[in-house]
Amino acid sequence: MEIKSDNDTKDTKNLHSATPARANLPTEERQKVTILTLQKQKKMKQKTVLVTAYDYPQALLADKAGVDVIIVGDSIGMTTYGYKTTLPVSMEEMIPQCKAVWRATKHAFVIGDMPFMSYQESNQQAIHNAGRFIKDGACDAVKVEGAVIDRIKAIVDAGIVVMSHLGLTPQTRTKLGGYRVQGKTKEQAEIILNQALKLQEAGCSFLLLEAMPRESAGFIAGQLHIPVYGIGAGDQVDGQLVIMHDLIGMFFEFKSKFVKRYCEAGKIIQDALIEYTHEVRTGRFPTSEHFYEINDEELEKLLGDHRWKYTIIEEKEKKIKAVS
Ligand code: KIV
């Protein structure tokens, strides 16, 4: 597969014109994104670009595209493992994927998403599993859902950078009555703001708001000094996250209102597979350009062996005849 550098892609300028210098730089000149880069982007009012990725090729493409943050989300359960929710996802399913993302990533800041029941039991459990994301998964930080102030404080005190996630928190969607937009009233927005302020005080470095009106998200973001990112939370936040499979058209179950599809990769892959199936069945693939060579001497030996019942390649036959 050929992966074009930023310079090769004719549309790069347009695609990245709203993002600062970093994204327009050739990949080799870009610096690794750190917590300081992200704080600076907020200060300079530069929008941060976040996307999920779950494996080596996805992370390679995202990193080359110039995204700032890759989240290895527990949405992997739905996008990749085929679960109906994120709840069954385990640490064992997350860590190898984080490592694969890390292997592909030169520049982006990588955040591992702590799966359901990997931090709820105790601070000790939370520290242990957050530590695994850093030590075994090679992540730069972890993400934790909900206003679990004690847990966040414990993880932060262990020296680990934390992103908190409020609003629609899929791991506790039953408690929320399903996948519902959050913070729709001033009162609800105040509740989320209070949680966010406590999380900030506990030491979390970033906040992610999911599925809420832009005004509520803006109201909350405006009162925090840490970067606040949104997924389905409008444009009044410091950056945007979209799930990779939503963005590229590879998630087939449903499409949320906030999702913008940038391509239909699912359709492209489906069409390719249909064509491949057809070509194999009709003998159009493989053809000579896909065959490995055998030297004339060995071919002659094979041709002379009566046990070979397969159809002889025409060009080779001709070649042998020409040689003899
Ligand atoms: O699992 C996930 O991908 C998420 C995103 C909202 C980051 O939680």
From the CA of 16, how far away is ligand 1's center (Å)? 24
Query: Looking at the predicted structure, is the pLDDT value of residue 3 above 50?
Result: no
Measured from the CB, is residue 240 less than 6 Å from ligand 1? no
pLDDT for 191: 97
Q: Would you tell me how many other CB atoms lie within 10 Å of the CB of residue 16?
A: 19
Q: Under a CB-based contact definition with an 8 Å cutoff, are residues 315 and 298 in contact?
A: no
pLDDT for 162: 98
pLDDT tens by residue, 40-82: 999 999 999 999 999 999 999 999 999 999 999 999 999 999 9
Measured from the CB, is residue 71 less than 6 Å from ligand 1? yes
| Measured distance CA(144)–CA(71) in Å, rounded | 12
From the CA of 113, how far away is ligand 1's center (Å)? 7
pLDDT tens by residue, 137-192: 999 999 999 999 999 999 999 999 999 999 999 998 888 988 899 999 999 999 99
Residue scoring higher pLDDT (218 or 319) = 218
Radius of gyration for the chain, computed over Cα atoms and rounded to the nearest angstrom: 25
Helix 314-323 to helix 296-303 angle, to the nearest 10 degrees?
100
Which among 183, 135, 138, 175 has a CA at the least distance from the CA of 158?
135
Q: Give the residue whose CA is nearest to atom 2 of ligand 1.
A: 73
Confidence of residue 6 (pLDDT cuts 50, 70, 90): very low
Measured from the CB, is residue 238 less than 6 Å from ligand 1? no
Percent helix, strand and coil across the chain, each to the nearest 5 = 45, 10, 45
Tokens of 137: 């998964």
Query: Looking at the predicted structure, is the pLDDT value of residue 95 above 50?
Result: yes
SS3 of residue 157 by DSSP? helix
Which among 76, 75, 37, 63 has a CA at the least distance from the CA of 238?
37
pLDDT tens by residue, 275-299: 999 999 999 999 989 999 999 999 8
Confidence of residue 113 (pLDDT cuts 50, 70, 90): very high
Which among 178, 154, 151, 177 has a CA at the least distance from the CA of 165?
151
Q: Under a CB-based contact definition with an 8 Å cutoff, are residues 251 and 267 in contact?
A: no
**Catalytic residue check, 210:** yes
pLDDT for 20: 44
Residue 140 makes CB contacts below 8 A (sequence gap 6+) with 34, 35, 109, 110, 111, 134, 161
| Measured distance CA(239)–CA(47) in Å, rounded | 5
Q: For the chain, what is the mean pLDDT?
A: 90
Q: Give the residue whose CA is nearest to atom 8 of ligand 1.
A: 73
SS3 of residue 48 by DSSP? strand
Phi and psi torsions of 140, nearest 5°: -85, -25
pLDDT for 303: 84
pLDDT tens by residue, 57-68: 999 999 999 999
Query: Please, what are the domains in the chain?
Result: 12-269 (3.20.20.60), 286-323 (no CATH)
| Measured distance CA(182)–CA(248) in Å, rounded | 26
Residue 85 makes CB contacts below 8 A (sequence gap 6+) with 77, 78, 170, 173
Query: Looking at the predicted structure, is the pLDDT value of residue 116 above 70?
Result: yes
Q: Would you tell me how many other CB atoms lie within 10 Å of the CB of residue 59?
A: 28
Q: Give the residue whose CA is nearest to atom 5 of ligand 1.
A: 73
Q: What is the largest CA-CA distance in the chain?
A: 91
Query: Which region among 80-94, 98-112, 126-140, 246-260 has the lowest average model confidence (pLDDT)?
Result: 246-260
Instruction: Output DSSP code: residue 27.
Output: G
Mean pLDDT in residue range 100-128: 98
In sequence order, what DSSP letters do the residues of 179-215 get, joined into one string? Answer: S-----SHHHHHHHHHHHHHHHHHT--EEEEES--HH
